[in-house]
Structures are given as C-alpha cells and as structure tokens.
Chain A
Amino acid sequence: MLKRLKISQKLSILLLIFSVLPLLASGAATYFYTKAELEKKTIAALSAVTNSRAAHINNAIQFRQEQAKEVAGAYLLRMLTEVGANDPQIVQGIQGDIDSTFWDLKRTPTSSYSYIDKRTDIDIIGVWDVHGNIIASTNRQLIGKKMPFEYMKKVHEQGTYFRGFEKDPLTEKNYLIHLEEIRNWKSDLIVGAVSLKISGKVLDDITDSREGLGESGETYLIDKNKMMITQSRFIKDSILKQRVDTKGARACFDNKKAPTIYRNYQNVEVLGVQKYLPDQDWCLIAEIEASEAFATVKAFRDQMLLVSGLLIFFVVIFAYLASRSFTRPILRLHAASQRIAKGDYSEEVEIDSYDELGSLALAFNNMTKNLADFTQQLEEKSRTLFKHLAITTSQKKELKAVNAELDSFVYTASHDLRAPLRAIASFATFLEEDYMDKLDAEGKDYIKEIRSGANKMSALIDDLLTLSRISRIKNPYEDVDMKKMIEGVVDRIKFDIKQYNVDLKIQEAMPVIFCDRIKMEEVFLNLINNAIKFSSKNNKENPKVEVGYLDEEKNYKFFVKDNGIGIDPKYHDQIFGIFKRLHTDQEYEGTGAGLSIIKRVMDGHQGRIWVESEVGKGSTFYLTIPKSLKEEELKNNESQDKEEVQE
C-alpha cells in the first residue's frame, strides 16, 4: 500500500511519525494520568463531605429522639393507665405539659449545632393512649384521632421508634416522625406513646451546604424507596417525589461498591460517592458533574489536540515542499526519459542543484548524448548493413571457393586434357607421313579416324571451357550498338558466307543494348554460324539467313532465320541442353554445345531463347532481352561497388 503513495505523502507520513506521534503519546499519557489523579482527588473530597454530613444527620436524628424521650418521661404522662385516658384532668394536664414543652423547645436552642434551628423544625407533639387514640396534641385538630396500628405495634416492640421521613397520614404533611413509649409510673407498663413530628428542614440544612462541591456539586438523601428526602439543587419540589434510581443509589442499598462515574437522576455524567446510613436506612449521596471535575484536564486535552493539529498541518506543508524539491528534478528526468523513448534526444535536462539529483541529471544528459550518438551510428550502420544483406559474407566466401575450384578445373582441363590429345593427333600425323607406303587403305582410314577423333575432342574441350567460362565469368555490361556488333560478327565469318554463297540479310534498325558484349557476340556468332551451316546444307542453291529485330513493349526481340532443314517441334526443348545433337557428324559437324552456351548467356541477361520451326521449312531462333535490364544492372553494380570498397 505504501508503494502507491507519492513521495510527498510518504514524507508526510514519515515526518508525522517522528513529530506528532510522540507529542500525542506524551499528551495522552499526561491526560489520562491527570484525569485519574483528578478523579481520585474529587472522590476523596466527596467522601470527606459525605462522611461529615452523615455524622451531622445522625446527630440531628438522635437529638430529636432524646427530646421525645424527655417528653415521654414527664410525670403527668406516666399517670396514664392501661385502660386509657379515663381521667379528664390528667388529660388536660398532659395537654398543658406538652404545650409548654413545645414552646420551650421552640424557644431554647439546646444544641451546639448552630445550623439546626430547633425553633422552627418541631411541628407537632402528640400524646397517644394505649388504644392508639390521640388524647393531647399541640395541634388541637388531631385530638381524638386514631394512630395507625403498626405505629403502636412498633412502639410496643421497640419502645423507641424512628419512623423515618414520610408523609404523615393524619396531617398530609412530610415529617420526620419520632415515637417514644410512655410507661405507667406505678406498673411500668406501656400506657401510651409520644410522637414528635419534625419538618425535613433539618435535613435540608445539612445537605444544602455546597462547601467543597464546586459549581455543579450537590449532596442529597434518599430513603430506602430511593425517593429523595432532601431538596434537589436542580429540581423544585423534589422531596418524596424525585426517584433516584442510579447506579450509585442501587449499589449503596445493595451494599456494593459503586462506580465512581455514572449518570445521575438527571442523566448527567457525574462523579459520585454514596454513604449508607444504617440507622435510618437512608443513603447520603454526594455528586459533582464530571465535566466540572475534569474541566482542567479537558482544557489540557483540547490544547493538546489543537497543538497537534497545527503541527500536522505544518508538517504536511513542509513535507510537500521538501518532497517537491526533489520530485521536481525527478519529474523532469521522467519527462526527458519519455521524450527519449520517443526518439527525441534534442533537449537536455535542466540542472539546478549540485546534490545527488544534480549528478543524476548530469549523468542522464551524458547518457542522452551518448544515446543520440550511438543511435546515429547505429542508423548509419544498419543502413549499410541492409544494403549488404542481399549477399551475406558466408555466401560470398562459398561463391569464391566454388569459383576458385572451377578455375583450377578449367586450368587442369586446358592443360592436361590437351597434352595427350595433341600427342594422339600429332603421332597419328607422323604415322601417316612416315609410314604412308607401308599402310594399306584401311590402316590409313584408321589413322584418319584417330586424327578426326582427337580434333573433335579438342573442339569439345574448347566448348566445355567456353561454357564454363560463360557461366562463370561476368564481363562488365556496356552499351552495345547491336547493328555494329552483328556486322562485326559477320565480318569474322565472311569467308564461310562467301564459300557457301549465303544470302545474309541484316535489318537496318537495331537498338543499343546494355549487355555483355563478348557473350552477346558469342550468341550471334553461334546462331548465325548454325543458320549458315543448316541452310547451306539443305538449300545449296539458295541458302538464306536473316537477322532481324522486333520491338516489343517490354523486351528487345531478335531473331535469326534460316531456310535450312528445320527442327521437329518435339525436339525444340531438347536442343538447348548441353551436347544435344540431332544429327550425325557426317550430316553436320559441331559439338552441340553452341545452343546451350547461348541459353546460358540469355539466362544471364534475364532473357529467353526459343525456336519456331517445322521440318523442311527452316528455323527461326528468337531471343529476347528485357528493357529493364540496364536499370537493374546499374543498381546491382552500385551495391557491388560499395561492397568492394568495404572489403
């Protein structure tokens, strides 16, 4: 995945790893450590608050219980009997007693706890007979009313009974209700009870203080039903109306360890401490909002993130600029290499630094230059190479070897074959000359045969050598005036022409042809000789030979016509083969090599030779030479000349 990134991105990542990560790591460590410390400290503070306030609450509750005991121990109250308030005077006295006590209590602060205002919090003092009927009360309206049965039962069981904070069924008000037994002075039997109803303000006074609780902290009490029994700081009229079913509250009553951070009854995240008050079966809870508790550490975190963000921003910008400083030359090199790939060597790479990239660019420029030079050389070389490709060196060597072999063969043939032949011919002559008179006619004939055989053999060797030379040796082509050339040939054989009285016609208009003069002479000499030979034999009176020219679109076309014996069409193809003879020696002399020599010459000139003839009607030999021959020859020569120079 890294491989796909640009250099700037890679550099960014690298720099970020080395700069931002350590910052973030140390920041995070600091953050979490500080947060934990803050949490610990906050919880400790909350615990201190709850512990002290729980003690205050306990004291306040016990103080009231003591007062209830005091009231219940009064003389008049102990005058009550198990049969009930049968004496109206006593009842009246009791009423007077509690009224004065009530006002005493209201008037006289007796506690050292300054924030408990005893003057205001006691609301009602009531006295109950043994049947549970209220016989005297500071609230006159309640006299004669009946006490709930379980109250009396508890009093009988426990003597002293704190009912908790609840709605009083008689007055429909919320009170802390303390009950205390009254025992008869004489029999010491339970004869009634005193009830003290105190408003919850005493508790509110304790929980109200925000000391050590910051801006959002509060303490509150909940009863075993998880109902709030002190005033919430945030909700109006919360007493016995706001239920607190939080993790903290549940853990408190279940006697389990509560989490330090949880959501409070308003679903706000708080740090909280809970204290269970076993005597009252209450729970005192102190909570502070997490946002406040962690405010400093959160500010630190925000600053940290801000600094990191800025750092990342600057690092990325720096990485981009830095990477550009070396990707730019690389991009230039890349562009240049693409130009070179397309064969453009003209532009150099700009060098603007002397670091490794500068050296690279320099080396690149040198390489480009070398490449350009090399390409040019290569092009030249390949150009010449293509020209020489037609004939490879190995082929040339082969050809040379074959030619050398042929040379040596020709040399041997001309030397070694002739010498014995000469001996045969000469000694036959000597025999003839020296022993003429000793030989009979038959012997003389044999000697004659020997001599003629030797001569024929000599002619054959000559033809063979000619044939070999013609196939092998290529004389330089030149512009040959055919008219003049043929006249020259005829001049060489004018003796024969005269001797056989041949009527020889040569056409006036003849072209100039680019060809091998020597070989072409050989061709016409052979053809004309043949024509004379055959026409004179067949038509002794009037032998006719005609040499003519016919212009064709693509070819020069010549013909040599005679009025000789003609050739059967079935032999027309054979006659051009080497030593093919259609006649016996007696009829026509010659080795038969002539036409095959002609055929070879014409092949060499890319031409054709053929005969049109019928037996007894003379023969016409046609030969064609393509008009395009000159161009092709010149082209070939050019390339061959160059080859020579190369060698």
Chain B
Amino acid sequence: MKIAITSTGNSLGSNLDQRFGRCSYFVIYDTETGGTEFLPNPNKDALEGAGPSSVQLVASRNVQKIISGEFGIKIKSLLDTLKIQMIALKDADKKIEEIIEMLNN
C-alpha cells in the first residue's frame, strides 16, 4: 500500500508540511517495499486550484492514504469520491522519518 506524506523538504529529516495543496514535497512511501520517493510539488506557488491538481498528482501514483496537516474544502469531497483516506496531523514538528516509523509499528 502506498501512502503520501506532505513534506517541507526532500529528505527524511524534513518536517511534515501543514498544507496539502501547496506543500513543498510529496513523499510516496510504499509499505510493502519500504521505499520512499520524493516528488517536488509543481503547484507550490499556484494561485488557485493547487489542491485539486495536487490530488491528481498523488492519485496518479495509486496512493491509498494521505498524511498532511490539514485538507481544504475542495479536496475533502474529491478524496472522498476517490476513496483515499485522509489523515490530518496537527503536529508541525513531526519529522517524515518519525511518521514512517509510526506506520511501521
């Protein structure tokens, strides 16, 4: 199963990005292989529609769960239709490696 995590940087030591649509990087974590992939977000500085196009990018990777700080109103209904689980974590100091460790426990 693939899980997307929003990240502020492109290393495992980066923090969880609190925004979904305009986060800096998406981390695609594969629970079966344990591999991670960092995708730079092309919608980082988009004026509008960053959320839906980010959903499109993440959904094209067949992600089943998304971990982020919060989800906008446009995204919630979209992800509900796509049956992708949203996990909102309000802890901005959480590092990507810590989240992956939590998922593996």
Chains A and B belong together in one complex:
no
Interface residues of A (CB under 8 A from B): none
Chain B positions within 8 Å of A, measured between CB atoms, are none
